Chain A
Amino acid sequence: MFGKTKRVAGILLASCMIATAFAGCGGDGGSTTTSSSGGGDATSSGGTTDNTATAVSVDDMLKDADLALDTEGKDTEVKLKVWAPADALKVFQAQCDEFVKSFPDRKIKIEVVAQGESDAAANVMNDPEAAADVFAFASDQASNLYPNAFVMPVREDFAASIKADNMSAAVDVVTHDGNIVAFPETGDNGYFVYYNKSLISADEIKSIESIMKVCDDKDKQFIMNLGNGYYGCVIPLTAGGTYELDAEGYQVLNYDKDKVVKTAKAFADVLANNSHFSSADTDKVLASNLKQGKALAGVSGTWKKSAIEAALGGNFACAKLPTIKIDGTDTDMVSMFGYKIIGVNSNTKAPYTAQALAYYLTGEKCQTERMEQLGWGPSIQKLVDSDTVKNDACLSAVYAQREHSVPQIGLAGSFWDPTGAFGSYVVEKKNDLSEEGIAKAYDSMYNNITAK
């Protein structure tokens, strides 16, 4: 495993040095820092990646591909396998075909295979050799993939443009030990409120108090799966909590106990005694309950968009998570926010082409296409600020929520269940919901998560 990584890294490094030598920028001492061939004159116009100051242009990639020919072969066919979710297969295949077209001299064959992002990492780790060369995964799997070098570190010139173009949090989730190790693909893997705008207005959806009031008036549900750690963490995060992993991979929680307990008490006060609040599994029931008019709003993520849009039709609307009154002030709920990432398998037989492909797929052109055709939120800052995002109900809610979020990275497996248990404790009427009772539940959550 490591041997192979070293070998590939060695090849990369060696070719970087050769590139420097060929570039002929004499200088003294032959430095190894220049790996991007800066002002390559334009010979090809295929593929229209925006040529910003830092971005690597298609021409650069072509040059690089020539370089790659030595190792990956001009005549030998390079075969790459790409993993993408089933419903995005066509878009990815078209983008890969476009990529192949920009290398007319080379024989590249790209096969796009359906593989959900949620278990891509597990499949890569089970058998890296049988896995795809370029694969998409969600940021929560990064902590398993990065330390064990399942993904290949990104070349310096690509890394520089990733850093320059993407939102800073998206860069954080692809950074490991200070190096960029993957390519940010989307910036929308978080949750927010879906609501039926014929039942509740955009103003009323802004605070949890007014939501619950409308629910009571109209006898409808508000659903948020606080019993699941993914959503339950809203309580400690709203209280200003953050998390990280220590050197041995154990969870470190930077929670202020008093604040978390106070925040939890606020959640309990609004939700626990209200029969119109449901902590059912939104992944299962939300679309159905909105469709049947049983619920007026609920918290879920981009993965449910098409189902809920189909369920609500013209009444479909989204908003960021509501505020909650803590100590008399309206406080924004803070959520956990994930990103989708494209990684290059460190076992790939064609590292140059694979990296170029991953770079291309996460570039501005492809992200724009996916935003327009699939409604996927981009990770490139320029696109996040674009009108397409502002005019899209769902995406604008995603990015509004992103302002109040903690990136989903640096989480140990022990985080989820205790956090969920705490969340469901807080909204169960039968529990002791005094500050002491909640403090006790908090302690048990904290100890279970940080136990070594």
Chain B
Amino acid sequence: MIKSYKTRRMVGLGVVYAILTILSIIWVLPLVWIVMTSFSGEDAAFIDHVIPSKWTFHNYVQLFTDKAIFNYPRAFMNTLIIAIFSCIISTLSVLMVAYTFSRLRFKARKAYMNVAMILGMFPGFMTMIAIYYILKTIGLSQSIVGLIVVYSAGASLGFFISKGFFDTVPKALDEAATIDGATKNQIFWQIILPMAKPIVVYTVITSFISPWTDFIMARMLLRDAIDQYTVALVLWNMTDKEKVDQFFYRFCAGSVIVAIPITAVFLKMQKFYVEGITGGAVKG
């Protein structure tokens, strides 16, 4: 048994850091690999060394300039449009629904919440075929508008986390605002939302990422409408057995670029995460 407290602490920390280092290497390696490969100037797609022998920026240039078979820039714009619109619509609807269930009292409130809970238990893609036929009937299949509808329509079912957050905001604030003559609408926009920044940020990030990375719905809905394709579909098509030798490095470059908007959204929003929740709201 080691007597000295200092040595014991050092050994303990050493073990912990060793484990953490190993874990972080395992976790980061695939990312490092894909970034490295995306800059690779190798001739052959499948090679037996990890670090490329030649480096180039060519894969990225080609990804954006050679649009003959796969139009990556257009797919990128499509995905961006889909993600931005779905993000705005679903963030607003989630927060509004959450506010309603948290603050307003009405008949069947409990029943609605139970229904939402049960519906939420079914994975979204279970209703895929039904969604497809409904959208087809109203003429929205094979277009990005249809995808925006799909991603934002069901979003408000996920209001539970936001509702839980709103519940923690003191009711006294609402009452104070009501006494000052604010309507429910004003309370939502001017009192609750500014104080609920962390949950707003959380909702924005999640509702941006899910349409941005979705493959299943896009594949099912867009079918052969190539000019509407999203990044996920274009990347998937690049790995087709006839194309993979030619497009493998561009595929890697495309995968790296996918991460950029998510990272940007996250970095921009992240600072709100750390801000206090309702700190300083009730003064005096």
- How many angstroms between the C-alpha atoms of A123 and B233 in the bound complex? 15
CB atoms of B46 and A284 under 8 A apart:
yes
Docked complex: A280-296 residues within 8 A CB-CB of B: 283-285, 287-289, 291-292
Mask, A106-125, CB within 8 Å of B = 1, is 00000001111010000100
Which of the residues B141, B223, B241, B242 comes within 8 Å of A123, measured between beta carbons?
B223
Q: A113-B226, A114-B224 are in contact. Are A291 and B44 (CB under 8 A)?
A: yes
Chain A: minimal CB distance from B216 (Å): 13
Tell me if A87 counts as interface (CB < 8 A to partner B). yes
Tell me if A132 counts as interface (CB < 8 A to partner B). yes
Would you mind naming 23 contact pairs between A and B with Cβ atoms under 8 Å apart?
Answer: A86-B237, A86-B243, A87-B69, A113-B224, A114-B226, A116-B237, A116-B240, A116-B242, A118-B240, A130-B141, A130-B224, A131-B223, A132-B224, A284-B46, A284-B241, A285-B46, A287-B45, A287-B245, A288-B44, A288-B45, A288-B47, A307-B242, A311-B245
| Chain B contacts for A283, CB-based, 8 A | 241, 244
- Chain A residues with CB under 8 Å of chain B are 81, 83, 85-87, 113-116, 118, 123, 126-127, 129-132, 283-285, 287-289, 291-292, 303-304, 306-307, 310-311
Q: 6 extra interchain contacts, Cβ-Cβ under 8 A, other than A288-B245, A289-B44?
A: A86-B69, A129-B136, A289-B46, A292-B43, A304-B242, A310-B245
Mask, B38-59, CB within 8 Å of A = 1, is 0000011111000000000000
CB atoms of A83 and B224 under 8 A apart:
yes
Tell me if B102 counts as interface (CB < 8 A to partner A). no
Give the residue name and chain of the A residue nearest to B245 (CB): A307
| Chain B contacts for A83, CB-based, 8 A | 224
Chain A: minimal CB distance from B187 (Å): 47
| Chain B contacts for A85, CB-based, 8 A | 242
CB atoms of B46 and A288 under 8 A apart:
yes
- How many angstroms between the C-alpha atoms of A285 and B245 in the bound complex? 9
Chain B: minimal CB distance from A229 (Å): 15
- Chain B residues with CB under 8 Å of chain A are 43-47, 69-70, 132, 136, 141-142, 223-224, 226, 237, 240-246
Give the residue name and chain of the A residue nearest to B248 (CB): A288
| Chain B contacts for A306, CB-based, 8 A | 242, 246
CB atoms of A311 and B226 under 8 A apart:
no
- How many angstroms between the C-alpha atoms of A127 and B136 in the bound complex? 10
| Chain A contacts for B44, CB-based, 8 A | 287-289, 291-292, 311
| Chain B contacts for A310, CB-based, 8 A | 245-246
CB atoms of A127 and B223 under 8 A apart:
yes
Chain B: minimal CB distance from A280 (Å): 9
CB atoms of B223 and A130 under 8 A apart:
yes
> What are the 10 tightest A-B residue pairs by CB atom distance, in nearest-first order?
A288-B44, A307-B245, A288-B46, A283-B241, A291-B44, A287-B245, A303-B242, A113-B224, A285-B46, A86-B69
Chain A: minimal CB distance from B239 (Å): 10
Which of the residues B46, B132, B245 comes within 8 Å of A127, measured between beta carbons?
B132
- How many angstroms between the C-alpha atoms of A352 and B105 in the bound complex? 63
- How many angstroms between the C-alpha atoms of A126 and B224 in the bound complex? 12
- How many angstroms between the C-alpha atoms of A158 and B142 in the bound complex? 34
| Chain A contacts for B237, CB-based, 8 A | 86, 116
Give the residue name and chain of the A residue nearest to B242 (CB): A303
Most buried by B among A113, A118, A127: A127
- How many angstroms between the C-alpha atoms of A113 and B242 in the bound complex? 18
- How many angstroms between the C-alpha atoms of A291 and B45 in the bound complex? 10
Give the residue name and chain of the B residue nearest to A86 (CB): B69
- How many angstroms between the C-alpha atoms of A289 and B47 in the bound complex? 8
CB atoms of B224 and A291 under 8 A apart:
no
| Chain A contacts for B132, CB-based, 8 A | 127
Q: A303-B242, A307-B245 are in contact. Are A130 and B45 (CB under 8 A)?
A: no
Give the residue name and chain of the A residue nearest to B43 (CB): A291
- How many angstroms between the C-alpha atoms of A303 and B241 in the bound complex? 8
Give the residue name and chain of the A residue nearest to B246 (CB): A307
Chain A: minimal CB distance from B188 (Å): 41
Which of the residues A130, A284, A291, A311 comes within 8 Å of B142, measured between beta carbons?
A130
| Chain A contacts for B70, CB-based, 8 A | 86
| Chain A contacts for B245, CB-based, 8 A | 287-288, 304, 307, 310-311
Give the residue name and chain of the B residue nearest to A83 (CB): B224
- How many angstroms between the C-alpha atoms of A203 and B69 in the bound complex? 39
| Chain A contacts for B43, CB-based, 8 A | 291-292, 311
- How many angstroms between the C-alpha atoms of A132 and B225 in the bound complex? 11
Most buried by B among A113, A126, A307: A307
| Chain B contacts for A303, CB-based, 8 A | 241-242
Chain A: minimal CB distance from B22 (Å): 30
- How many angstroms between the C-alpha atoms of A292 and B47 in the bound complex? 8
- How many angstroms between the C-alpha atoms of A83 and B241 in the bound complex? 18
| Chain B contacts for A86, CB-based, 8 A | 69-70, 237, 243
- How many angstroms between the C-alpha atoms of A115 and B69 in the bound complex? 11
Q: A87-B69, A113-B224, A303-B241 are in contact. Are A130 and B46 (CB under 8 A)?
A: no
- How many angstroms between the C-alpha atoms of A127 and B224 in the bound complex? 11
- How many angstroms between the C-alpha atoms of A86 and B243 in the bound complex? 10
Chain A: minimal CB distance from B274 (Å): 45
- How many angstroms between the C-alpha atoms of A304 and B240 in the bound complex? 11
- How many angstroms between the C-alpha atoms of A403 and B223 in the bound complex? 38
Q: A113-B224, A288-B46 are in contact. Are A130 and B69 (CB under 8 A)?
A: no
- How many angstroms between the C-alpha atoms of A291 and B245 in the bound complex? 11
CB atoms of B224 and A123 under 8 A apart:
yes
Chain B: minimal CB distance from A141 (Å): 16
- How many angstroms between the C-alpha atoms of A126 and B128 in the bound complex? 12
- How many angstroms between the C-alpha atoms of A307 and B44 in the bound complex? 10
Give the residue name and chain of the B residue nearest to A307 (CB): B245
CB atoms of B224 and A115 under 8 A apart:
yes
- How many angstroms between the C-alpha atoms of A81 and B243 in the bound complex? 24
- How many angstroms between the C-alpha atoms of A131 and B136 in the bound complex? 13
- How many angstroms between the C-alpha atoms of A283 and B240 in the bound complex? 9
